[in-house]
Amino acid sequence: MTIGWHFDNTYSKLSDIFREEIKPIPVINPELVILNESLASELSLDFSKIDKKELSKIFSGNSLPSGSSSIAQAYAGHQFGHFTMLGDGRAVLIGEHTTKSNKKFDIQFKGSGKTAFSRNGDGRAALGPMLREYIISEAMNALGIPTTRSLAVVKTGENIQREKTLQGAVLTRIASSHIRVGTFQYIAARQKEDELKTLLDYTIDRHYPEIKNSNNQALDLLNLLIERQCNLVVNWMRVGFIHGVMNTDNMTISGETIDYGPCAFMDFYDPKTVFSSIDQTGRYAYCNQPVITKWNLARFAECLIPFIDKDQDKAVKIATETINSFEKKYEEKWMNMMRDKLGLFGLDDKDKFLILDLLTWMHEKKADYTNTFCYLMNLNPKDDGLFDDNNFKNWKKRWEERMLKNNNTPKKCIELMRKNNPLVIPRNHKVEQALMAAEKNDLNPIIELIDVLKNPYTQKNNIFDYQIPSNSDEKYQTFCGT
* Residue ranges that bind ligand AMP, judged by CB under 6 A: 86-90, 117-118, 121-124, 245, 249-250, 259, 261, 480-482
Give the one entry of ligand AMP, Mg ion, none that residue 4 binds, where binding means its C-beta sits below a cut-off of 5 to 8 angstroms depending on kind. Answer: none
**Which CB sits closer to Mg ion, 73 or 250?**
250
CB of 299 to Mg ion, least distance (A): 15
Least CB distance to ligand AMP at residue 254 (A): 16
Nearer to Mg ion, 107 or 308 (CB): 107
Q: How far is the CB of 303 from ligand AMP (least distance, A)?
A: 18
DSSP for residue 64:
P
Instruction: Choose from Mg ion, ligand AMP, none: what does 3 bind? Cβ within 5-8 Å by kind.
Output: none
- Give the whole-angstrom CA distance, residue 274 versus residue 286: 7
Our CB check for ligand AMP shows the closer of 55 and 246 to be 246
The answer to whether the Cα torsion of 328, 329, 330, 335 is positive or negative is positive
H-helix segments, 159-288 = 181-189, 193-207, 217-239
CB of 89 to ligand AMP, least distance (A): 2
89 binds, among ligand AMP, Mg ion, none (CB under 5 to 8 A by kind): ligand AMP
| Residue 205 a catalytic site member | no
Burial class (CB in 10 A: 0-12, 13-18, 19+), 137: buried
Q: Which residue among 249, 259, 267, 368 is the active-site one?
A: 249
Nearer to ligand AMP, 83 or 345 (CB): 83
In the complex, least distance from residue 134 CB atom to ligand AMP, rounded to whole angstroms? 15
Task: Please count the other Cβ atoms lying within 10 Å of the Cβ belonging to residue 62.
Answer: 18
Specify which residues 165 forms β-bridges with: 161
Q: Which does 296 bind (CB under 5 to 8 A by kind): ligand AMP, Mg ion, none?
A: none
Grouping H, G, I as helix, E, B as strand and the rest as coil, residue 265 is strand
Tally the residues of the chain: 482
If one counts every other C-beta atom within 10 angstroms of the C-beta of residue 404, the result is 10
Helices (H), 115-216: 127-142, 181-189, 193-207
Residue 123 contact among ligand AMP, Mg ion, none, beta carbon within 5 to 8 Å by kind: ligand AMP
- Going by the DSSP 8-state scheme, the letter that residue 318 receives in this structure is H
Whether the CB-CB separation of 169 and 126 falls below 8 Å is answered with yes
Least separation, in Å, of the C-beta of 15 and Mg ion?
23
- Stated as kind and residue range, the H or E segment containing 84 is strand 82-85
- Considering the complex, state which of residue 240 and residue 261 has its C-beta at the smaller distance from ligand AMP: 261
Residues whose CB falls within 8 Å of the CB of residue 262, separated by 6 or more in sequence, listed in order = 244, 245, 275, 276, 277, 278, 279, 478, 479, 480, 481
Residue nearest to ligand AMP (CB): 121
Return the number of the residue (89 or 157) whose C-beta is nearest ligand AMP. Answer: 89
Q: Give the nearer residue to Mg ion in terms of CB position, either 45 or 140.
A: 140
Partner whose footprint covers residue 469, from ligand AMP, Mg ion, none (CB < 5 to 8 Å by kind): none
Give the whole-angstrom CA distance, residue 6 versus residue 21: 20
Task: Choose among Mg ion, ligand AMP, none what residue 118 binds, the Cβ cut-off being 5 to 8 Å by kind.
Answer: ligand AMP
Would you state the torsion angle of the CA atoms of residues 230, 235, 240, 243, taken in this order, to the nearest 10 degrees? -60
Residues forming the site for Mg ion (CB under 5 A) = 250, 259
Beta carbon of residue 137, minimum distance to ligand AMP (angstroms, whole number): 13
Query: Which are the catalytic amino acids?
Result: 249
